[in-house]
Amino acid sequence: MTTPPPLELTPQQVRRMLRDDPDSFTLLDCREPTEWAACRIQPALHIPMGDIPARLQELDPDRPIVVYCHHGMRSLSVTQFLIQHDFTDVKSMAGGIDAWSLQIDPTVPRYD
């Protein structure tokens, strides 16, 4: 019996991916527009969670996708939604942009 792959990547793994080959995957920010305006990780594509069903055509189901939100809960839900819609390589960034700010880049503002 094969164990399914984990649905989450650490911020450190995402940083490595961005450093080593940023064009090899889509970084998807699923936060709300006000959150996006406050801070973001470049070169993220911004599609709020509630808009994803209507904007699926903007995403390539064969391209790896890493989803992030504020703390990692919404991005995990989006990851599961995309997998259910035949996206083959989708992961959520554990801890979201808050963990990114704490562990990777303290210049990214934190918010409540």
Ordered by where they begin, the domains of the chain are 8-103 (3.40.250.10)
Question: Per DSSP, what are the bridge partners of residue 91?
Answer: 66
11-20 vs 96-103: helix crossing angle, rounded to 10: 80
Task: In whole angstroms, give the CA distance from residue 51 to residue 14.
Answer: 24
pLDDT tens digits, residue range 43-52? Answer: 999 999 999 9
- pTM of the complete model: 0.94
Active site residues: 69
pLDDT at 4: 58
pLDDT tens digits, residue range 28-41? Answer: 999 999 999 999 99
* The two three-digit tokens of residue 28, written as one number: 């998807």
Tally helices (H) and strands (E) across the chain.
4, 5
Cα→Cα distances 103→13, 20, 31, 79, Å: 11, 18, 19, 22
Q: Hey, is 66 helix, strand or coil?
A: strand
